[in-house]
């Protein structure tokens, strides 16, 4: 860790400070994320989505995932990333599947069962189409998720680069979408938004199917950022997910749960600093905080707070 400039350098000072911070945070080791939202990430699905044989060369797996993640981050909602076959989905209230073109039967069943047990599942377009061997699932799209979502698509209509279509329904005024559209019919779901124009005008674009105490949503297109944020905001509120702590824009808030205490991580990405509600001990300075903690500009605060027990299976 010794830089070429030696110990008389900013880099060395930063390394020393990092070592001190890690020592101060030693008790955090073993704590776990308290997130109640998960986003499904799968490397095989990413590889398959970007094959040259796809009906659109504009699809970028990482871009789709980032577009769904961004409004949650801005809203102060912590998110975990999980695999389709994760055995611990019941710890979450909301599971998002921005893109999962390729999925095996076990992964598809795992996500379906999550919704059947009362969780809220949200699936993006062109998902579930092929199995782990890239063999098409017959019977219409979205393949492995047709039944749980209550929809069936018989023809895909990818949009040209830069092409936009309007959306109407329970979406913000002036809502548009790009990248993708498809001719979908309802098979148990209800339409939340429809295409206002384009190749499949009048066809459902965003759907919702009630699943017991939860729901299964399908986004058959890629809404503009404002519309996508509004849709995801509605969904996570209906799922009972709230931000961990009210904080100014640009302050990331994450809570981790330990055996005897919780740890509130506050990171200033905006570079202006902030005051955030907290009570406990700020570990990096050792100071007791009552009512609020100061997050330094461009810096971090970590507050040890009293433990709030939460069941691993929230439905229990």
Query: Is the distance from CB of 241 to CB of 146 less than 8 angstroms?
Result: no
Task: Give the β-pairing of 214-219 and 204-211.
Answer: antiparallel
Average pLDDT over all residues of the chain: 94
pTM attached to this predicted model: 0.93
Query: Is the distance from CB of 142 to CB of 149 less than 8 angstroms?
Result: yes
The mean pLDDT value for 209-217 works out to 89
Query: Is the distance from CB of 26 to CB of 82 less than 8 angstroms?
Result: no
- Tens of pLDDT, residue by residue over 85-122, are 999 999 999 999 999 999 999 999 999 999 999 999 99
Which residues have CB under 8 Å from 218's CB, separation 6+?
Answer: 122, 123, 125, 142, 145, 149, 151, 184, 189, 206, 207
Task: Give the β-pairing of 151-156 and 182-186.
Answer: antiparallel
Check residue 5 and give its pLDDT.
Answer: 86
Q: For residue 226, is pLDDT > 70? A: yes
| pLDDT-derived band at 195, boundaries 50, 70, 90 | very high
- Tens of pLDDT, residue by residue over 120-154, are 999 999 999 999 999 999 999 999 999 999 999 99
Torsion angle of the four alpha carbons 185, 191, 195, 199, in this order, in degrees rounded to the nearest 10: 0
Which residues have CB under 8 Å from 260's CB, separation 6+?
Answer: 307
- Tens of pLDDT, residue by residue over 78-94, are 999 999 999 999 999 99
**Least confident window among 208-212, 215-219, 223-227, 298-302:** 208-212
Check residue 316 and give its pLDDT.
Answer: 43
Size (the chain), residues: 316
DSSP assignment of 76-102 equals T---EEE-TT-TTGGG-SEEEES--SB
CA dist., res. 176 & res. 165, Å (int): 5
| pLDDT-derived band at 310, boundaries 50, 70, 90 | low
Check residue 315 and give its pLDDT.
Answer: 52
The mean pLDDT value for 222-250 works out to 95
Map residue 73 onto helix, strand or coil.
Answer: helix
């Amino acid at each position: 860790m010794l830089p070429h400039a030696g110990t008389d350098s900013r880099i060395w000072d930063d390394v020393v400070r990092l070592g001190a911070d890690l020592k101060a945070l030693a008790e955090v080791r073993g704590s776990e994320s308290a997130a109640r939202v998960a986003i499904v990430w799968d490397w095989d699905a990413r590889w398959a989505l970007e094959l040259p044989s796809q009906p659109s060369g504009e699809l970028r797996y990482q871009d789709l995932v980032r577009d769904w993640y961004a409004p949650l981050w801005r809203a102060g909602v912590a998110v975990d990333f999980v695999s389709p076959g994760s055995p611990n989905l019941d710890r979450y209230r909301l599971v998002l599947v921005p893109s999962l073109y390729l999925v095996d039967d076990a992964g598809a069943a795992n996500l379906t069962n999550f919704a059947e047990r009362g969780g809220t599942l949200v699936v993006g377009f062109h998902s579930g189409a092929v199995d782990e061997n890239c063999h098409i699932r017959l019977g219409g799209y979205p393949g492995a998720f047709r039944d749980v979502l209550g929809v069936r698509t018989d023809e895909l209509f990818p949009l040209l680069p830069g092409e936009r279509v309007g959306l109407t329904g329970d979406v913000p005024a002036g809502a548009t979408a790009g990248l993708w559209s498809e001719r979908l019919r309802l098979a148990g779901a209800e339409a939340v938004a429809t295409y206002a124009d384009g190749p499949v005008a009048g066809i459902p674009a965003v759907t919702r199917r009630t699943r017991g105490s939860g729901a299964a949503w399908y986004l058959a297109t890629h809404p503009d950022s404002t519309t996508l944020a509004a849709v995801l905001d509605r969904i996570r509120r209906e799922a009972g997910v709230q931000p961990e702590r009210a904080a100014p824009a640009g302050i990331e808030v994450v809570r981790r749960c330990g055996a005897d205490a919780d740890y509130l991580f506050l990171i200033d990405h905006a570079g202006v600093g902030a005051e955030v509600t907290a009570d406990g001990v700020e570990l990096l300075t050792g100071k007791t905080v009552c009512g609020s903690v100061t997050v330094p500009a461009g810096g971090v605060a970590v507050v040890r707070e009293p433990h709030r027990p939460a069941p691993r299976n929230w439905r229990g």
